[in-house]
Structure 1
Amino acid sequence: MPVLTRLIPSPVVVVIGAGALDGLAGLLADQRVSSSGKLAIAISGGSGLRLRDRFAAELPGADWYPVEGGTLDTAVRLADAMRGKRYEAVVGLGGGKIIDVTKYAAARVGLPMVAVATNLSHDGICSPVSTLDNDNGRGSYGVPSPIALVIDLDVIREAPIRYVRSGIGDAVSNLSAVADWELSHHKTGEPIDGLAAAMARTAGESVLRHPGGCGDDDFLTVLSEGLVLTGIAMSISGDSRPASGACHEICHAFDLLYPRRAAAHGEQVGLGAAFAIHLRGAYDACALMAEVLRRHGLPVLAHEIGFSEEEFVRAVQFAPQTRPGRYTILEHLALPTDAIRDAYADYAKTVTS
């Protein structure tokens, strides 16, 4: 009998814990990421500069590249600056924007990338996708996943709490995204990868069901692991399907329709996920998700992120245009404006009762 297996793309090393950054130089050498220490390290202008002061002496062979903003042009400039300098790896040291820029730049020059996350704002810390602003708004670009990932919980706690909250919203939105994937599988025949779906759902459930709070090491560890598992699930499926459904379509609609007023990514996808679950008629699940989001300080109603009911209705109506070809509960129901308005009124009663 043949034994059939498959290789799962994932980082060769994942380190999550308090003080994890203390061993960064040794980790890079011990894991054979960079035995010579010849590294390019991309950093933000905030926490990244402080960490450069901390680690510059330990990494004498590294060149440091301050990066401003999460744009495609920034990523291309970083790649051009690194080209031809014989680095062994590229390290992205910072938040989501820095890591997305670094992933794209590393792919462009053909180097392995190490992600050192200083906040947990979204699942991009370990995903095969770079989300970057461009001349047409915002685009998602396929890239190799990080070869190594380090999350120091001491550093995470130093970041503003809104970043942890955003990561919570992104993680629990997996539950809506997987439900949309399964819906598309049944209605359109879209293939579904059971392992990727199971990993994404498990990540979402682990964060949703954990009783801890944003400052607890146990909870931050579960959130970190959930975001890592989500990134690996996307690598397995080859796209963002395990983590992106109606929840992200609604988020992208906010970004495109109200670019100067959009809230944090995780706030928007958390709200979008709760509303999408309500649209499926899963009212108990919707109420539970809203309760958990509220407990962690995330919004569950449009006005809580600065949008009127009519603006929310417009975003939901526009949302399917943000991902042409993707089938979610929004495409399935194809609700007219008045029906969306009525559905939101019912949703608001569900999450406030």
Structure 2
Amino acid sequence: MPVLTRLIPSPVVVDIRPGALDDLASVLSDQRISHSGKLAVAVSNGSGAKLRERIAPALPGATWYEVGGGALDDAIRLAGAIKAGGHYDAVVGLGGGKIIDCAKFAAARVGLPLVAVPTNLAHDGLCSPVATLDNDAGRGSYGVPNPIAVVIDLDVIREAPARFVRAGIGDAISNINSIADWELSNRVNGEKIDGLASAMARQAGEAVLRHPGGIGDNDFLQVLAEALVLTGIAMSISGDSRPASGSCHEINHAFDLLFPKRAASHGEQCGLGAAFAMYLRGAHEESAYTAEVLRRHGLPVLPEEIGFTVDEFVQVVEFAPQTRPGRYTILEHLDLKPNQIKDIYSDYAKAISS
């Protein structure tokens, strides 16, 4: 009887532990990613630059490229510099999400594998097949290959500002709502669900939601980092962002588009959006529990907690479906009018406060 399998796009190396950065050179050599040590290392002028002095002696064959921001132009310039710099085995992105995304795009443009070395856990983009970059139209998502390796040093993560870890928590937990939206679209529209991608993304979110620890615990940071990596792989399996992007992310994008100078972090807005969207779909107990966990980690669950009025939040929710045309979530399903959104929000606020 034949055994039918499929190939899953995933990193060759996933190294998540305290002190992982100190072994970066040996990991890349042992896994045949870079025997020669010739690497193009993209760093920010912030967290990545501070680590350069620490790890540069272990990477004598590396060329370092400082990236100024997270715009498409920055990524294109980086790709041009790497191409002009000679032959490299791989590109290393060392820094926060913007640097990782610039390095992803540049590596794809020059045809080299990407090694992601994030210095914070702000969102699931660290292992996803997407580079999110600012452009003239606002912000765009660009398809890129998965990183060939992901190295996450939990000691480095602990030194990052706590708000970055909190943002990652919100992004990971929002997976659960995103999967519920996917299942809704399957029931209503017959949209196909990739069961493996769905299972990975859901369990990643549940692992973070149910973990009793906090952002100061290595055990919790390990689970959060693994959840974000698994979410990125789930998106690669499905071929799009569906396992990790539903009504919660539509609400996030609406905040960004309507109030670009006031928007909070991606993860904060996704977490809040997920708790509210769960209430919209009638999952009131799950909504209340999600809000409780988000609060325990210091994340917002009401728009007032990130500086928005109720009327502004109603505007965000009403506009949210326009941010992802063709994606069907609880927002498209209910097609609520402003007065309906306001009434439901009032009930939601009371429910999670009781």
- TM-score if structure 2 supplies the norm length? 0.99
Q: How does 1:23-172 map to 2 (within 5 A)?
A: 23-84=23-84, 85-172=86-173
Q: How far is the alpha carbon of 1:28 from its aligned partner? A: 1.1
Separation in 1, partners of 2:322, 2:69: 26
Q: Which amino acid counterpart does residue 42 of structure 1 have in structure 2?
A: A
The 8 Å contact of residues 128 and 236 in structure 2, kept in 1 or not, is answered as: yes
Query: Secondary structure at 1:14's aligned position in 2?
Result: strand
Separation in 1, partners of 2:183, 2:69: 36
Query: Secondary structure at 1:298's aligned position in 2?
Result: coil
Q: How far is the alpha carbon of 1:2 from its aligned partner? A: 2.2
Structure 1 consecutive aligned stretches of length 4 or more whose deviation exceeds 6 Å: none
Q: Name 1:327's counterpart in structure 2.
A: 328
Q: How far is the alpha carbon of 1:343 from its aligned partner? A: 1.1
Query: Secondary structure at 2:57's aligned position in 1?
Result: coil
Q: How far is the alpha carbon of 1:145 from its aligned partner? A: 0.5
Separation in 2, partners of 1:352, 1:69: 39
Is 1:9 equivalent to 2:34 in the alignment?
Answer: no
Separation in 2, partners of 1:55, 1:334: 53
Query: Secondary structure at 1:133's aligned position in 2?
Result: strand
Separation in 2, partners of 1:34, 1:58: 13
Q: In the TM superposition, what whole-angstrom CA distance separates every residue of 1:24-63 from its partner, at most 9, and x where no partner exists?
A: 1111111111110111000011111111111111111111
Structure 1 unaligned blocks of 5 or more: none
Q: How far is the alpha carbon of 1:174 from its aligned partner? A: 0.1
Is 1:240 equivalent to 2:241 in the alignment?
Answer: yes
Q: Name 1:210's counterpart in structure 2.
A: 211
The 8 Å contact of residues 22 and 55 in structure 2, kept in 1 or not, is answered as: no
Q: How does 1:258-269 map to 2 (within 5 A)?
A: 258-269=259-270
Query: Secondary structure at 1:327's aligned position in 2?
Result: coil
Q: Which amino acid counterpart does residue 271 of structure 1 have in structure 2?
A: L
Q: How far is the alpha carbon of 1:350 from its aligned partner? A: 1.1
- TM-score if structure 1 supplies the norm length? 0.99
Q: How does 1:162-241 map to 2 (within 5 A)?
A: 162-241=163-242
Separation in 1, partners of 2:105, 2:62: 19
Separation in 2, partners of 1:320, 1:136: 18
Q: Which amino acid counterpart does residue 73 of structure 1 have in structure 2?
A: D
Q: Which amino acid counterpart does residue 270 of structure 1 have in structure 2?
A: G
Separation in 2, partners of 1:69, 1:345: 39
Q: Which amino acid counterpart does residue 69 of structure 2 have in structure 1?
A: G
Separation in 2, partners of 1:328, 1:141: 22
Separation in 1, partners of 2:136, 2:346: 36
RMSD: 0.7
Separation in 2, partners of 1:322, 1:241: 14
Q: In the TM superposition, what whole-angstrom CA distance separates every residue of 1:200-256 from its partner, at most 9, and x where no partner exists?
A: 000000000000000100000000000011000000000000000000000000000
